[in-house]
Amino acid sequence: MNRRHFLQTSSGAATGGFTLPNLHAANAADAAMSLGKAEHCVMLWLGGGMSQIDTFDPKTRGDAKAKQSGSYYDSIATAVSGVKICEHLPKTARHMEQITAVRSLHHEVVDEHAAATNRMHTGRPTSGAVRYPSLGSIIASQRGAAAEGVPAYVLMGYPNLTRGAGFLGPAANFIYLNDLKAGPAGLARPDSISSERSSRREKLLDAVRKGGANRFGDDKKFTDYDAAVQESLRLSGPDFMKAFQLEDEPADLRNLYGSEFGQRCLLARRLFQSGVCFVEISYSDNFKNGTGWDTHNKGQLKQHLLIQDLDAALSTLMTDLQSHNLLDKTVILINSEFGRPGGFDSGGGRGHQSKCFTSVIAGGGLNHKGAWGMTDEVSESVVENPVTVPDYFATALAAMQIDPSENLYDGDRPVPITDGGKPIAQLF
């Protein structure tokens, strides 16, 4: 509704009892009906662009050498009647009753990695005026950690603005790690630093913080930074750091999880048990096939190595969460910046495609469908139940008990929590 139309109709609407407060209450009631009950969320980030036609939206087999469009692999049946996925996802196929492959996802951002990565982390196009928060930071700010002494948001991958808190500020930001053995960056004490030396450093830091508080105590930037320092000191203690001791898990379970990527998924389960709310896991074996998930040229030929990694990690994570009564409390997302076209490029690989691709949502106690949305015969156009990125974000937020119709605040300015997204109602 534009302003003129609103002014012309507002008096009549108010006379009929359809006032703005009543309208807001009705919208809130509708939103409350759609909220889930999950407490944790993990995003499996397959940077480079997972080929949907070779994973969760298989089509008739193509031929890379003959440049005949179609899937690179055969498909197999799953636990959901009529839903098929790639032959290299056999373990995942048995879990499809707890999975929905959103096959009709799309966005309008240029098919370039950085811009599309921002789109699939913040839910919005890149903006020069506003630094929007990532999904992880939104969930961290709205839900918080479930226990004292742990962060709300942990990132396993390289930190950047796309994954960060944006205008929500440091309290909604992540702690991160790249090396499982080293632990979180800046929290694990190097072996060369004794406890006595560390204690002396903390006393010096305490003096600096007190001096800063005397000089800049009214400055929000200082207080936010000082709060982050205090949080890091607390997190570096033994209670939270115990979660990173994967050797405490049975060797058989660690073997089932498989590669480094799988071990990161195991750590996510341990972090959830400690009270962490949101975890992002970047795929860490990017050159197993030569290119990672960005399957241009020869990267396509050994893409199955990546898919098999994903199969082992995802299926084991779901079974492991179930055994700890956490699967219905944990939303699992599988995201890439975009997908790939059904046709092959000159090197036998696939290009970039944002107009039609697949992301996956699993667990979280949702009413899963196996698959949602439909694409054409080569997975290049959406033909049924299109889902926007804001819709996908709204679905994840609603599953996490967060009302997707609410606002965030950039200072005093209200900002819709999604860019007009509506949850996929059929999953609730």
Q: Domain coordinates of the chain in residue numbers?
A: 41-188+245-427, 189-235
Cite the DSSP H helix spans in 144-250: 195-216, 220-235, 238-241
Q: At 303, which amino acid appears? A: Q
Residues 329, 274 contacting (CB under 8 angstroms): no
Of 148, 178, 399, the closest CA to residue 274 belongs to 148
* pLDDT tier for residue 369 given thresholds of 50, 70 and 90: very high
CB atoms within 10 A of CB 15: 9
* Rounded CA separation 25/366 (Å): 25
Cα dihedral across residues 55, 58, 61, 67: positive or negative: negative
CB atoms within 10 A of CB 361: 24
Pull the structure tokens for residue 360: 């996956």
Q: At 397, which amino acid appears? A: L
Is the confidence at residue 318, as pLDDT, over 80?
A: yes
What is the mean predicted confidence (pLDDT) over 88-105? 98
More confident residue, 383 or 24: 383
Mapped onto helix, strand or coil, the DSSP state of residue 362 is: strand
Pick from 127-136, 140-149, 193-202: least confident: 193-202
Q: What pLDDT score does 223 carry?
A: 86
The DSSP code sequence of 55-107 is TTS--SB-BTTTTB-SBSS-EEE-SSTT-EEETT-HHHHTTGGGEEEEEEEE-
Pull the structure tokens for residue 353: 């495609």
* Rounded CA separation 290/304 (Å): 12
* Rounded CA separation 150/136 (Å): 15
* Rounded CA separation 144/182 (Å): 25
* Rounded CA separation 397/401 (Å): 7
Is the confidence at residue 11, as pLDDT, over 60?
A: no
Residues 307, 88 contacting (CB under 8 angstroms): yes
Is the confidence at residue 8, as pLDDT, over 80?
A: no
Mapped onto helix, strand or coil, the DSSP state of residue 392 is: helix
* Rounded CA separation 313/306 (Å): 11
* Rounded CA separation 392/419 (Å): 11
In terms of Cβ atoms closer than 10 Å to its own Cβ (0-12, 13-18, 19+), residue 180 is middle
Q: Across the chain, what does the average pLDDT equal?
A: 90
The DSSP code sequence of 316-349 is HHHHHHHHTT-GGGEEEEEE-S-B--SS--TTSS
DSSP state of 133: P
* pLDDT tier for residue 7 given thresholds of 50, 70 and 90: very low
CB atoms within 10 A of CB 186: 11
Is the confidence at residue 4, as pLDDT, over 70?
A: no
DSSP state of 192: T
Is the confidence at residue 189, as pLDDT, over 90?
A: no
Q: What pLDDT score does 5 carry?
A: 52
* Rounded CA separation 137/155 (Å): 11
* pLDDT tier for residue 2 given thresholds of 50, 70 and 90: low
Per residue in 329-360, pLDDT tens?
999 999 999 999 999 988 899 999 999 999 99
How many residues make up the chain in this entry?
428
Beta partners for residue 99, in sequence order: 362
Q: At 224, which amino acid appears? A: D
More confident residue, 298 or 392: 392
Per residue in 36-76, pLDDT tens?
999 999 999 999 999 999 999 999 999 999 999 999 999 99
Segment (H or E) for 12? helix 3-15
41-188+245-427 adopts what CATH topology? Alkaline Phosphatase, subunit A (3.40.720)
* Rounded CA separation 420/266 (Å): 34
